[in-house]
Amino acid sequence: MSTATEPSTLKAWLLAEEPTSRRQARAASVYQGWLTMRGNTLTMIGLGILIFLILCAIFAPLLATENPFAQDLANRLKPPGWEGHIFGTDSLGRDIYSRLLYGARISIYIVLLVAAVAPLVGLMIGTIAGYVGGVTDTVLMRATDIFLAFPRLVLALAFVAALGAGIENAVLAIALTAWPPYARIARAETLTIRNSDFIAAVRLQGAGPIRIIVRHIWPLCISSLIVRVTLDMAGIILTAAGLGFLGLGAQPPSPEWGAMVAEGRKYILDYWWVATIPGLAIFSLSLAFNLIGDGLRDVLDPKGGE
C-alpha cells in the first residue's frame, strides 16, 4: 500500500506551494521545468532524436553489422537495401550504416568537449569584465570583438592549420572560436547584477571579488548560458563537420560524418547515398539540439521567447 502512495506523495512534495527547504525548492523548480518542456511537442521530438543518437553511439559495437573500417572492393558503391547493407557501401566497400554508428561517437564527443570548454571560458571572461569594469572590461571586450569579427569556420580553419589536423586540435579550435558569445552574455548579466542590493550586502559581510563572482554571480548567469549553448550546438556540429569535410578534423579511416560527406561528394550524382545519408545524420543531430534549445529557452528564459 505504501508503494502505491509513494509516487503521489513525491508529486505532492514537488508541487508544494510553500517549499520547506532549499532542496525542495530546487527539486520543484526542476520538475516544473520538466513539465513545461514535456508540454512542448517539438522539444520532446528533439529530445527523442538526441536520446536515440546517443544510444546508437553507446551501443555501436552491438548494433553495427560490419566492421566500419573493413574494405571490400568487390562490393563498393552498393545501393541501400535490407539484404546485406542497409545504407549501402562507400567507394571502398565499407558499410555506411556501421560507419554512421561509430561516427555518432565522434560527433557527440566533439560536441560535449566544446560544450564543456567554451561556455566556461566565456563565463570567466565575461563576469570578470563586467564585475571589474574599467580598463579590464575594455581590453577583454575588444579582444572578444576581434574574435567575433571573423566567421567561426574561417577562424577555426586558421587555428587548425596552425595546430595541425586531428580531433583534439579540431575541438580546441572550435572551443577557441565559440567562447565570445558566452562572454557577451555573462558580461551583460554581470552588469545588471553587480549593483544589486544582495551583492552590496555580501560585500559588506567581507566577501572578496572572487567569492562574489563564483558564488553569487555565476549561478545567475548559468541559465542564460545553458540556453545559448544548446542553441549553438547545431553551429558547433556544422563547424566540426566542415573541418572533417576539408580533411582537418578526424583523419581517415575514422568514420567522421563530415569526412564521409566529403568522400561521397565525388559520387553524388550517380551514388547519392554515399554523401546524402551522413548528411542526413548531421541534419538530425543539429535539428535535435535546436528543438531542445527552443524548449529550454521557454523554461529558463521565458522573456527571451516573447
Which residues are 89's β-sheet partners? 95
At 246-265, the pLDDT tens digits run 888 878 788 889 889 988 88
The Cβ of residue 237 has, within 10 Å, a number of other Cβ atoms equal to: 24
Contact between 130 and 186 under an 8 Å Cβ cutoff? The reply is yes
Is-contact 79 90, C-beta < 8 A?
no
Sign of the CA dihedral with 116 first, then 122, 123, and 125 last:
positive
Q: State the pTM of this model.
A: 0.83
pLDDT of residue 126: 92
Q: What is the mean pLDDT of the chain?
A: 85
Domains of the chain, each with CATH number or no CATH: 32-66+95-305 (1.10.3720.10)
Q: Residue 3 has what pLDDT?
A: 47
Q: Which residue has the higher pLDDT, 6 or 169?
A: 169
Per-residue b/e over 49-62, b at no fewer than 16 CB within 10 Å?
Answer: bbeebeebbeebee
Distance (Å, whole) CA 58 – CA 10: 32
Segment 40-70, tens digit of pLDDT:
889 999 999 999 999 999 999 999 988 899 8
Nearest CA to 144 out of 126, 130, 127, 156 is that of: 126
Q: Above 60 in pLDDT, residue 195?
A: yes
Residues 261 and 241 sit within 8 Å (Cβ to Cβ) = yes
